Amino acid sequence: MENIINWTIQILLLPALSPLCVGIIRKIKARFQNRQGASVFQPYNDLWKLFHKDEVISSDASWIFRFAPFAIFGATLAVSASLPIFASFLSNNFTSDILAVIYILAIGTFFLALAGLDVGGAFGGFGSSREMTVSALAEGGLLFSLLVLSFMSGTTNLFSISGTIDSLPLASLLPVVLAFLGFFIVLLAETARFPFDNPSTHLELTMIHEAMIIEYSGKRLALIEWASANKLLIFITLGSSLFFPIGIAHSMGVIAIAAAILFYLLKVLVFCVAVAIIESGIAKLRLFRLPDLLLFSFILSVIALGLII
């Protein structure tokens, strides 16, 4: 019974909190700009409004356009059940492997790019092209940063990695820090944040993610926006629970799990503040400058990998 409750919390916690993360980042950015800003709960209101609106679907749209939001949202739910959010003792041998998580996320990106192309609009086409370029360049840095943890722990299971990294002495954490720096750059790229993308614009010269979903409305747009928030929290969870698994529960117990959830929320808050500070302090890079930054992420991960081999 306790195991069922833990898995229920594990599966529901991430999609329930993800819109709040977006709201916190927007609120902090507004404060940096000397604005009051909307409530941190505004993303929940936006989703509620979109779920109750009618949809307008182009006559040129195929089944891909109609099916893609469900595939994208389903991919994020599958990954949320595969991450060590607050406990390392939960066992999931089906989808919690490093490669499984990376390529389930890639399935969502694939359908998002297809949906952008499907209607045949100019915005969707260049948005999908840019998205696939950034994703292809970011994949190496993401894989190698997680491989560093895999080599250090001797396993590719994310739950086992979290428990092993938490028990390492501080003197051996230099490769982890380097890999995390590479991972954090990928986090900004994969979640459409500065300096890779502007999540709050519809200018054709700056948008990537928004260009692909510009034809969506109503319930399907709500699913895509929710999936985007889920993906942000998924990467934050990967960063907090794998690279800094401080406070994660290693045994079943009400107090241990409650403390682990509290630690998780604090780490998520730190990540949200960091993302908001970065977005408030730098400008979006030109598209042709992005490969240099992603190459730097890959190099950091390779250096970290070289330190432990």
Residue 8: predicted pLDDT: 82
Is residue 195 reached through a cis peptide bond, with omega within 30 degrees of 0 on the bond before it? yes
CA neighbor of 249 nearest in space, from 87, 90, 92: 87
pTM for this one?
0.94
CA neighbor of 244 nearest in space, from 309, 156, 183: 183
Residues 6 or more apart whose CB falls under 8 angstroms from that of 289 comprise: none
Q: In Å, what is the CA distance from 43 to each residue of 131, 136, 220, 226?
A: 23, 29, 15, 9
In the predicted model, is pLDDT for residue 92 greater than 90?
Answer: no
Residue 2: pLDDT band with limits 50, 70, 90: low
> Residue 254 CB: number of other CB atoms within 10 A?
9
Are 249 and 91 contacting, i.e. CB atoms less than 8 angstroms apart?
no
Arithmetic mean of pLDDT, 275-288 = 86
Q: Over the stretch 112-160, which tens digit does the pLDDT of each residue have?
A: 999 988 888 777 888 888 889 899 999 989 999 999 999 999 889 898 8
Residue 256: predicted pLDDT: 85
The secondary element (H helix, E strand) that includes residue 198 is: none
| Distance from C-alpha of 303 to C-alpha of 296, rounded to nearest angstrom | 11
Max CA pair span of the chain: 61
**Percent of residues in the chain assigned helix, strand, coil, to nearest 5:** 70, 0, 25
* Residue length of the chain: 309
Q: Over the stretch 94-112, which tens digit does the pLDDT of each residue have?
A: 788 999 999 999 999 999 9
> Residue 83 CB: number of other CB atoms within 10 A?
24
> Residue 23 CB: number of other CB atoms within 10 A?
22
Identify the residue whose tokens are 């679907």. Answer: 57
Q: Over the stretch 208-262, which tens digit does the pLDDT of each residue have?
A: 778 888 889 999 999 999 999 999 999 999 999 999 988 888 777 788 888 999 9
Q: Over the stretch 69-85, which tens digit does the pLDDT of each residue have?
A: 999 999 999 998 888 88
> Residue 148 CB: number of other CB atoms within 10 A?
29
Q: Taking the C-alpha atoms of 41, 46, 52 and 55 in order, what is their torsion angle to the nearest 10 degrees?
A: -160
